[in-house]
Amino acid sequence: MTGMRTLTILGATGSIGQSTLDVVTRHPQRFRVAALTAHAQVGPMLSACRLVRPRYAVMVTESAAAELRQRLRDGGLDTEVLSGETALSQVASLPEVDTVMAAIVGAAGLRPTLSAAAAGKRVLLANKESLVMAGHLFLRAVREGGGMIVPIDSEHNAILQCLPGRFNGDWSVGGVRRILLTASGGPFRCRPLSELAGVTPEQACAHPNWVMGRKISVDSATMMNKGLEVIEAHYLFNAPAEAIEVVVHPQSVIHSMVEYVDGSVIAQLGNPDMRTPIAHALAFPERIESGVQPLNFFDLAGLHFEKPDLARFPCLRLAYEVLRVGGNMPAVLNAANEVAVGRFLEGRLRFDRIATVIDAVLSRVAHETPQSLEDVLEADRRAREMALQTVTHA
């Protein structure tokens, strides 16, 4: 059995962060938590600190940090509270930490996740946006740091489980032909197209199979989530765009599949509960209990598959396009999407305009090849500005 692993959980108060705490606390002999981070939610952070008693807790906002410090002191806990964005990178690269759960949502996760990679940590990657924005830099940081990425996204975790054991990205050696990335199709798969203009944030966040944070829930409803995952799969598995096929599978029981040159297709199945990929990544290459109910085949009404409808889900088409073009374009797509989704969640942009805004921003930006993190952040900043202007006129 592997020795004790010491973790930092970035985004501890979120959906993935909470599921991670659930799995970790089932195995106190295997995992200890050195640091937890959140943006501003003090209540859930306080509960998490009580549960795992970390050495550090980071709140990005200073006022939340001050409140947490006081409440921890009142409760007699000696966790040290840090604040500000740089503290995120600091706790992601602590010498005593070997494993970092990267579960901040959106571009805000890029710097700390990259710091973890550069410091040679085992990065459990939920924050797909950071890989989409800066895939090449990210892979270089992992190589140079000497650590590894283990995907948390259920599809990519499934693909890792279906690939040959010693797969190193060389498709000709492994006999791998295609990756079949499954997608639920979200809450609007069957909704008449004419109704999409009027759907509300609550309807968009009511995912049929998964309970998730609000941003990824909207991404699932537009299928931008699947688009980001196609780009994520490209970087994680060295897969060309043509070798990644999206298969709509509304039951979310098959989490993805790998097709081999001999005609074999290997699938990973399970109940839709993120604790399975989290437990797999935490213990990799071993297996541990996750608390997830076993899959009961006799309860399944059937497994269905269909092609994605790109007229209904233009975001998926846009993601394939930016993957083919490369350079700064995936970062621009991600930034424009974050702005548009944020506005939709505030009730200030129609659902069907999310794709229109992203498309408009992409068509205004010139292709460049970012050389550094600063280049990526600059592309992100400019794309956000353009998206904000476009939203105002949408």
Contact 195, 204 (CB under 8 A): no
In the bound complex, what is the minimum distance in angstroms from residue 272's beta carbon to ligand NDP? 9
In the bound complex, what is the minimum distance in angstroms from residue 235's beta carbon to ligand NDP? 15
C-beta of 158 vs 360, nearer to ligand NDP: 158
CA-wise closest residue to 313 among 348, 272, 359: 359
C-beta of 126 vs 318, nearer to ligand NDP: 126
C-beta of 116 vs 360, nearer to ligand NDP: 116
In the bound complex, what is the minimum distance in angstroms from residue 106's beta carbon to ligand NDP? 6
Total residues contacting Mg ion (rule CB under 5 A)?
3
What's phi and psi for 33, nearest 5 deg?
Answer: -105, 120
d(CA 114, CA 131): 9
Query: Binding to Mg ion (CB under 5 A): which residues in 123-182?
Result: 153-155
Binder of residue 331, out of ligand NDP, Mg ion, none (CB less than 5 to 8 A by kind): none
Binder of residue 36, out of Mg ion, ligand NDP, none (CB less than 5 to 8 A by kind): none
CA-wise closest residue to 321 among 279, 355, 287: 355
C-beta of 19 vs 390, nearer to ligand NDP: 19
Contact 51, 28 (CB under 8 A): no
Order of strands, sheet of 56-59, starting from the edge strand that comes earlier in the sequence: 80-83, 56-59, 31-38, 5-10, 99-102, 122-125, 148-151
What's phi and psi for 283, nearest 5 deg?
Answer: -100, -10
Binder of residue 126, out of Mg ion, ligand NDP, none (CB less than 5 to 8 A by kind): ligand NDP
What's phi and psi for 197, nearest 5 deg?
Answer: -60, -30
C-beta of 31 vs 138, nearer to Mg ion: 138
In the bound complex, what is the minimum distance in angstroms from residue 153's beta carbon to Mg ion? 4
**Chain residue whose CB lies nearest ligand NDP:** 14
C-beta of 38 vs 391, nearer to ligand NDP: 38
In the bound complex, what is the minimum distance in angstroms from residue 56's beta carbon to ligand NDP? 14
Binder of residue 149, out of Mg ion, ligand NDP, none (CB less than 5 to 8 A by kind): none
Q: Are strands 80-83 and 99-102 parallel, antiparallel or unpaired?
A: unpaired
d(CA 282, CA 276): 10
In the bound complex, what is the minimum distance in angstroms from residue 129's beta carbon to ligand NDP? 5
For residue 208, count other CB atoms closer than 10 A to its CB.
14
- Residues 6 or more apart whose CB falls under 8 angstroms from that of 53 comprise 33, 77, 79
Contact 120, 198 (CB under 8 A): no
C-beta of 105 vs 163, nearer to ligand NDP: 105
Contact 275, 19 (CB under 8 A): yes
Binder of residue 232, out of Mg ion, ligand NDP, none (CB less than 5 to 8 A by kind): none
In the bound complex, what is the minimum distance in angstroms from residue 209's beta carbon to Mg ion? 11
Q: What residues line the site for ligand NDP (CB under 6 A)?
A: 11-17, 38-41, 60, 103-105, 108, 126-129, 153, 210, 212-213, 215-216, 274
In the bound complex, what is the minimum distance in angstroms from residue 17's beta carbon to ligand NDP? 5
C-beta of 37 vs 217, nearer to Mg ion: 217
Contact 278, 23 (CB under 8 A): yes
d(CA 10, CA 152): 13
Residues that bind Mg ion (CB under 5 A): 153-155
